[in-house]
Chains A and B, each alone.
Chain A
Amino acid sequence: MEMLKVLVVDDEPGIRSGIDRILSKFTVGYPFMDEDIGYTVYEASTGEEAIRIFHEDPPDIALLDNKLPGMGGVEVLEYIKRNQLNIEVMMITSFASLELAVKATNIGAYDFVPKPFTPQELRSSMENITKHLFLKRMTQKMNKEGKQIRFQFLSVLSHELKNPLNSIEGYLRMMQERQAGEEIGSYDQMIERAIARIKGMRVLIMDLLDLTKIESGKKNREMQQTDLVKIARISAETMGPMAIQMEVDIKLECPDEFFVMVDAEEMEIILNNLISNAVKYNKIGGTVICRLKAANKKLIIEIEDTGIGIPEDDIPTLFREFVRIRQKETKHIMGSGLGLSIVKRLIALYDGTIEVESHPGEGSIFRVVLPVII
């Protein structure tokens, strides 16, 4: 059981021990919490003592009586907020005036319990403040983790952008310094490599723009009746040059036309990425089959290849950014490392799913299921 520390600040010993008795037997649980939450109660009889305890052994929650002998409860609350202490405050007020309530709420008290209170009143107030505290901490934690993931992403990204820049700069320098001699022909290969790296960077930047658009929700979506077969044909044609080079045959298994309510540009990105992967990671003389069909009122897109396949261990990370499964066979295949991540995000916009079936050495099938109107 997780324990929250509760400091009761009240000058009446009876109230302090009463709260102690009620809370020591009380626990709070929610379906979404792993474990119940209980309370460890300790006490202070004045505001000054409470402030000392805040620094020595800070509580998670303070129950503050407003009418204290020296410093008042509101002043203690002000102290907490001024010093940005991470303590949630519940005020205990003997004669609750509206004025006091407004003031304390403005300063940042979470709740009030009027004196005298029943055990049930105290328990339900504690339940609220505990839930609030739990959610607040979860949010903080998730924000922090989000930031870390973002940071990781950025550092890998700058690596992916810097490497090609370094290599292009390196080739240009070699030319500038005539390192391979005065004959321009000696530099052909370097020029070709530099151009290839620039192409790679362009792909990465375009993919990044797509990703940013999807992530920020700023992508203008135009849902309309769209012929997927037409998009699939264009995708296959776009991959034509590479398919010819690899002697890969791209087949479409679908009706003559297939209209669905989607954003055409998004479908184009999904099909382009999946078909181009199926060609790139294929064997010489292999086949790619693109199937479009409907089942249970859902759209199913299947892209099957006869390529090198994906080891089972690598499938869980396949859709993460910059995860390019490194195998001997794929080392020299160009890619931004963002394609499948983009595909997955786009599919999520439709509440769809994507799954992979793969047999190393034989091939893979990427299956997209979209619950769109057919």
Chain B
Amino acid sequence: MTNKEYLPLILLADDDPDYLFQMKFALEKGGFRVVTAETMEEAELSMERDKPKLAIFDLMMERDDAGFILSYHAKRKHPEMPVILLTAVTAETGRQFGSNASDGDGWIKADLYLEKGLHPDQLIEHVNSLLNR
């Protein structure tokens, strides 16, 4: 493995510290560097400061639509950075997200919508394919 600094940096934003811990652990094992954010503000700040190669946002943080807002800002300022939106509630809210859900939703343009609770290995697979690794 090469020097750690060359590993791609992932921004992980979620208000659940346990989820952050677990995903960070898994992503680091999967060969990434991870910066975490527990609030929207931290996430916005990190996008500018750390210039991550990919961002993973939880949909519901301090606002129910935090992920959408972060995703919108990310796509406007850093269109080249892939964004994954994670949510625990698609089934309950009746909103169906798929990789093509952005077609109907206008400005909500994440690259991928994933259900929370998926195995970290699957998440890493998705991250790798979005980064063409």
Residues of A within 8 A of B (CB): 154-156, 158-159, 162-163, 165-167, 169-171, 173-174, 179-180, 193, 197, 326, 331-332
Q: With A170-B19, A193-B18 as given contacts, are A162 and B93 in contact (CB-CB < 8 Å)?
A: no
A173: contacting residue among B17, B62, B116, B119, CB under 8 A = B119
Cross-chain contact A158 with B92 (CB below 8 angstroms): yes
Beta-carbon nearest neighbor of A194 in chain B? B18
Which residues of B are found within 8 Å of A155, using beta-carbon distances? 89, 92-93
Q: Is B106 in contact with chain A by the CB < 8 A criterion?
A: no
B18: contacting residue among A167, A173, A179, CB under 8 A = A167
Cross-chain contact A162 with B116 (CB below 8 angstroms): yes
Beta-carbon nearest neighbor of A189 in chain B? B21
A310 to B52, CA, bound (A): 35
Interface residues of B in 1-45 (CB under 8 A from A): 15-19, 21-22, 25-26, 29, 38-39
Which residues of A are found within 8 Å of B22, using beta-carbon distances? 167, 170-171, 174
A179 to B93, CA, bound (A): 33
Which residues of B are found within 8 Å of A156, using beta-carbon distances? 64
Q: How many A-B residue pairs have CB under 8 A?
A: 52
A153 to B22, CA, bound (A): 28
Which residues of B are found within 8 Å of A162, using beta-carbon distances? 88-89, 116-117
One digit per residue, 1 when the CB lies within 8 angstroms of any chain A CB and 0 when it does not, for chain B 89-133 equals 100110000000000000000000000110110000000000000
Cross-chain contact B60 with A174 (CB below 8 angstroms): no
A155 to B89, CA, bound (A): 7
Q: Which of B16, B22, B25, B89 has the most chain A CB within a 10 Å cutoff?
A: B22
Beta-carbon nearest neighbor of B21 in chain A? A193
Cross-chain contact A197 with B25 (CB below 8 angstroms): no
Cross-chain contact A159 with B88 (CB below 8 angstroms): yes
Cross-chain contact A171 with B92 (CB below 8 angstroms): no
Cross-chain contact A166 with B89 (CB below 8 angstroms): no
Q: Which of A154, A169, A170, A331 has the most chain B CB within a 10 Å cutoff?
A: A170
B65 to chain A, nearest CB (A): 13
A174 to B22, CA, bound (A): 8
Beta-carbon nearest neighbor of A197 in chain B? B18
Interface size class of B (residues with CB under 8 A): 20 to 34
B33 to chain A, nearest CB (A): 18
Q: With A179-B25, A332-B17 as given contacts, are A169 and B117 in contact (CB-CB < 8 Å)?
A: yes
Cross-chain contact B117 with A166 (CB below 8 angstroms): yes
Which residues of A are found within 8 Å of B26, using beta-carbon distances? 179
A20 to B117, CA, bound (A): 65
A170 to B15, CA, bound (A): 16
A180 to B22, CA, bound (A): 11
Cross-chain contact A154 with B92 (CB below 8 angstroms): yes
Q: With A155-B93, A173-B119 as given contacts, are A167 and B16 in contact (CB-CB < 8 Å)?
A: yes
Cross-chain contact A166 with B88 (CB below 8 angstroms): yes
Cross-chain contact A166 with B116 (CB below 8 angstroms): yes
Listed from nearest, the 6 A-B pairs whose CB atoms lie closest are A167-B18, A170-B22, A162-B88, A158-B92, A166-B117, A326-B62
Which residues of B are found within 8 Å of A193, using beta-carbon distances? 18, 21
B120 to chain A, nearest CB (A): 8
Extra inter-chain contacts (11) besides given A170-B19, A331-B38, CB under 8 Å: A158-B88, A162-B117, A166-B88, A167-B16, A167-B22, A169-B117, A170-B18, A179-B25, A179-B26, A179-B29, A332-B17
Which residues of A are found within 8 Å of B89, using beta-carbon distances? 155, 158-159, 162
B92 to chain A, nearest CB (A): 4
Which residues of A are found within 8 Å of B119, using beta-carbon distances? 173
A197 to B18, CA, bound (A): 9
Beta-carbon nearest neighbor of B26 in chain A? A179
12 CB contacts below 8 A, A to B, read A154-B92, A158-B92, A159-B60, A159-B88, A162-B89, A163-B19, A163-B88, A170-B120, A171-B18, A193-B18, A193-B21, A332-B17
A173 to B26, CA, bound (A): 11
B117 to chain A, nearest CB (A): 4
A180 to B26, CA, bound (A): 10
A170 to B86, CA, bound (A): 15
A163: contacting residue among B16, B21, B62, CB under 8 A = B16
Cross-chain contact B93 with A174 (CB below 8 angstroms): no
Which residues of A are found within 8 Å of B60, using beta-carbon distances? 159
Which residues of A are found within 8 Å of B39, using beta-carbon distances? 331
Beta-carbon nearest neighbor of A166 in chain B? B117
A154 to B89, CA, bound (A): 10
Beta-carbon nearest neighbor of B95 in chain A? A155
Beta-carbon nearest neighbor of B20 in chain A? A167
Q: Which of B18, B29, B116 has the most chain A CB within a 10 Å cutoff?
A: B18
